[in-house]
Amino acid sequence: MYLRGWTTGCCATAATIAAYFALSNGYFPKKVIVNLPKGDNPLFGLVIQKKGFKWASAGVVKNAGDDPDVTHGVLIISTVRTLFKKTGIIFKSGPGVGIVTKSGLPIAPGEPAINPIPRKIIIDNIIKFIGYLPNIEIEISVPGGEKLVKKTLNERLGIIGGISILGTTGIVIPFSCSAWIYSIHQSIDVAIAEKITHIACSIGIVSENSIKKIYKTEKVAFIKIGNFIWIMLKYLQKHPVKKLSLAGGIAKILKLAKGILDLNSQIGGSINLIFLASLARYKGASLKLCKCIIMANTVMEGFLLAISKNINLGDFIAKKAKELISYILKNNILVYVIIYDRQGICIGKSNKLF
C-alpha cells in the first residue's frame, strides 16, 4: 500500500481556514479539517500562527505521501486580510507563488497561479464555515518557491516567480503522475493560445535537448511528455495543432512502431527484441543475425547489431511510429518522428524535417 498525500491546493485551503478562523475568533484552532470535493476530510496541524490588526497568517507543511513530488515538505502559508469593500474573495500571490503571464492557462494573465479548483475548494470551505461569502484577501505564499519553480514546467508555461497552487481533488495519489499529465495539457493549451502551429514533444531529456537544436522556435513549443504519449495524442485529438514533431530513444519509438502506447520501460522486454528482429528480417537480415538480436541485452544493442551488418532500421522504425500516430490523430496533423541515441545523435527519422 502506498501512502496518499495532499495537494498544494488542499494545504492552502487548510492554512486559509485556520487564518480566517483566527481572524474571526481571535485565536487559532489546534487542528484544521478540510472538506474536499469527493468527501475526504483530511486533518492538518499548524506550524505557523501569526495575527495582527485585521489580518492573520497560518502555515501547514505539505505531505505528498509516497508520491515523488517536488513540493513534498514545503511550507504553505495563507495570510487572510479583511477588506472594507464588497469585493468578495480576492486571491493574491505571496512570495514563492507564481504569476501567470501567458494566455491558454485556466487562469488569466496577471492573476496569481492559484488554479480554479483550489480557489473553489477554499471558497467552499469558508462559506461552509460561516454561511456566506466574506470580503477578504487571501495571499498564498510558499517560501522557497522561487527556487522550486526551476524543477517544474512553470516558466515554460509563462508562470513566473514561483510554483502553482494545484489540485483537482485535493488528494495526491502516489505515482499517479497527475501533475505531469496536467502539465502536458497545459503546455498544449499555452502553445495554442500563443498561436504556435508546430509543437515539438520529447520523451526524455536527451531527446528534448537534441530536438531543441534543430528547431529555433518559442519555448512553449517544446513539451516534455515522458511516457505519456497516449495522454498527449488523446488531448491533441480535441485540441489539434498543424504540425507535431516527436523525439525519443530507440526503445520507446520501437514500442510505438509496434503499436504499444504504454512507454513504461517495464512493458515489452523480450517481445520488443523479437519485433526488432522481425523488422531486421524484413529488411534482409539473416536468421543468424535475427537470433543474435533476440538475445541482445537491450534494444539499442540489437539495433547496433543490425547496423553492423548494414541493416539500418532507424528510418523504418520512425516511419512505422509515425503511421501509428497519424492513424490515431486521423491524419489531421502533420507528423514527424525522430530517433536519437544516448549521445543525442539522430539515428532515424520518419520523413524530411518540417
| Same domain? 19 vs 117 | yes
Which residues does 271 contact at the CB level (< 8 Å), separation at least 6? none
| Same domain? 147 vs 233 | no
Closest of 196, 16, 192, 194 to residue 120, by C-alpha: 16
pLDDT value of residue 289:
96
pLDDT value of residue 68:
47
- Pick from 51-60, 98-107, 146-155 the range whose average pLDDT is largest: 51-60
Q: Are strands 162-163 and 159-160 parallel, antiparallel or unpaired?
A: unpaired
Mean pLDDT computed over 292-310: 91
Mean pLDDT computed over 252-274: 80
| Same domain? 159 vs 185 | no
pLDDT value of residue 268:
52
| Same domain? 288 vs 231 | yes
How far apart (Å, rounded) are the C-alpha atoms in residues 54 and 86? 16
Task: Report which DSSP code applies to 194.
Answer: T
How far apart (Å, rounded) are the C-alpha atoms in residues 164 and 152? 9
Quote the radius of gyration of the chain (alpha carbons, Å): 25
| Same domain? 343 vs 205 | yes
pTM of the predicted protein model: 0.67
Lowest mean pLDDT among 157-166, 177-186, 244-253, 312-321: 177-186
**Is the pLDDT at 28 greater than 50, yes or no?**
yes
**Is the pLDDT at 320 greater than 90, yes or no?**
yes
The total of structural domains in the chain comes to 2
pLDDT value of residue 170:
64
**Is the pLDDT at 333 greater than 80, yes or no?**
yes
Query: Domain range holding 334?
Result: 178-349
* Residue 186 resides in a domain: yes
pLDDT value of residue 271:
75
For 65-89, write each residue's pLDDT tens digit.
Answer: 544 467 788 999 999 999 988 999 9
| Same domain? 94 vs 201 | no
**Is the pLDDT at 291 greater than 90, yes or no?**
yes
**Is the pLDDT at 269 greater than 80, yes or no?**
no
Q: Identify the CATH number of the domain in which residue 164 sits.
A: 3.30.2110.10
Average pLDDT along the chain:
89
pLDDT value of residue 261:
87
* Residue 251 resides in a domain: yes
**Grid-cell match 538475445, residue found:** 295
Domain finish residue from 104, 137, 172: 172
CA atoms within 13 A on the CB side of 36: 20
Mean pLDDT computed over 104-113: 88
| Same domain? 325 vs 194 | yes
pLDDT confidence tier of residue 178, bands split at 50, 70 and 90: low
- Pick from 46-50, 167-171, 179-183 the range whose average pLDDT is largest: 46-50
Closest of 125, 72, 119 to residue 92, by C-alpha: 119
Judge whether 311 and 318 are in contact, CB under 8 Å.
Answer: no
pLDDT confidence tier of residue 189, bands split at 50, 70 and 90: very high
**Alpha helices of the chain — where are they, by DSSP H?**
8-25, 116-130, 145-148, 154-157, 178-193, 205-214, 229-238, 250-258, 270-282, 287-294, 299-308, 314-328
| Same domain? 222 vs 340 | yes
pLDDT value of residue 175:
45
| Same domain? 129 vs 27 | yes
C-alpha cell at 168: 483537482
pLDDT confidence tier of residue 174, bands split at 50, 70 and 90: very low
| Same domain? 185 vs 168 | no
Lowest mean pLDDT among 118-122, 182-186, 254-258: 182-186
| Same domain? 215 vs 282 | yes
pLDDT value of residue 323:
95
* Residue 354 resides in a domain: no
Domain finish residue from 172, 188, 218: 172
Domain finish residue from 140, 172, 204: 172
Closest of 122, 144, 155, 111 to residue 16, by C-alpha: 122
For 30-45, write each residue's pLDDT tens digit.
Answer: 999 999 987 889 999 9
| Same domain? 139 vs 219 | no
- % the chain with pLDDT above 70: 92
